[in-house]
Amino acid sequence: DQQVKQNSPSLSVQEGRISILNCDYTNSMFDYFLWYKKYPAEGPTFLISISSIKDKNEDGRFTVFLNKSAKHLSLHIVPSQPGDSAVYFCAATLTGNQFYFGTGTSLTVIP
Amino acid sequence: DSGVTQTPKHLITATGQRVTLRCSPRSGDLSVYWYQQSLDQGLQFLIQYYNGEERAKGNILERFSAQQFPDLHSELNLSSLELGDSALYFCASSAQGRSPLNEQFFGPGTRLTVL
């Protein structure tokens, strides 16, 4: 049972525009959410996170929004750059030990 | 470079065989996590160790086992291999047990192919 879902396998965006990556989850008890970025032939790297007590967290060009009532989070990248082209995974955790990852969204930023 | 090393990078073996994947965490990190990524699948959490003790268990098959040694490196043992076990296996480490307070750092992965 996939508790974290990323329904868009891929996304293409023009350089300089906003990229919005979406993630839905089913377990309302999750208390922490994370986004990871993955380049080919490398392991995922941590990007940004948000606690369930917040609805927004910003770090430079990256902002994560959390809508608990909709069990939905999104990652906004503004402005998008070609180097942002990668696979993005969202993840959720309840206890900080076991993590549930989505299937990833492949972002392509077109120069 | 995350500081997490995994060996081997690639592994090709036959059904029914047994393999061992190795992970060395970042210097000082006490927690090690194992994940499996099959084709078109997300990362599936397998198991976590903290300072030598099993901390959390996910979707790990009974044919799979892991351990963390006193020097904090970890091994994932996969036995009676099946074609469906072909996947990328990632190891991650973090400083403490509660990873949201300490982000996970992932290794480059081991690609296992079972023929």
Q: Which residues 60-79 of A have a C-beta within 8 angstroms of B?
A: none
d(C-alpha B82, C-alpha A47), whole Å: 34
Pairing of strands B43-50, A45-51: unpaired
Tokens standing for residue A74: 């999104």
The answer to whether B10 faces chain A, any CB pair under 8 Å, is no
CA-closest candidate to residue A62, choices A4, A110, A6, A19: A19
Residue B109 C-beta-side C-alpha neighbours within 13 Å: 21
Interface test with A, best of B23, B99, B101, B111 (most A CBs within 10 A): B99
The answer to whether B97 faces chain A, any CB pair under 8 Å, is yes
The answer to whether B103 faces chain A, any CB pair under 8 Å, is yes
pLDDT for res B95? 79
Pairing of strands A10-14, A62-67: unpaired
Phi first, then psi: what are they for B85, rounded to 5°? -80, -10
- How does pLDDT run across B80-104, given as a tens digit for each residue? 999 999 999 999 998 765 555 557 8
When pLDDT is cut at 50, 70 and 90, the band that residue B39 belongs to is confident
d(C-alpha B30, C-alpha B49), whole Å: 8
The answer to whether B33 faces chain A, any CB pair under 8 Å, is yes
Contact between A28 and A41 (Cβ < 8 Å): no
When pLDDT is averaged across residues B27-38 and rounded to a whole number, the result is 92
Contact between B10 and B19 (Cβ < 8 Å): no
Are B2 and A43 an interchain contact pair (Cβ–Cβ within 8 Å)? Answer: yes
Examine the pLDDT at A1 and tell me if it is beyond 80: no
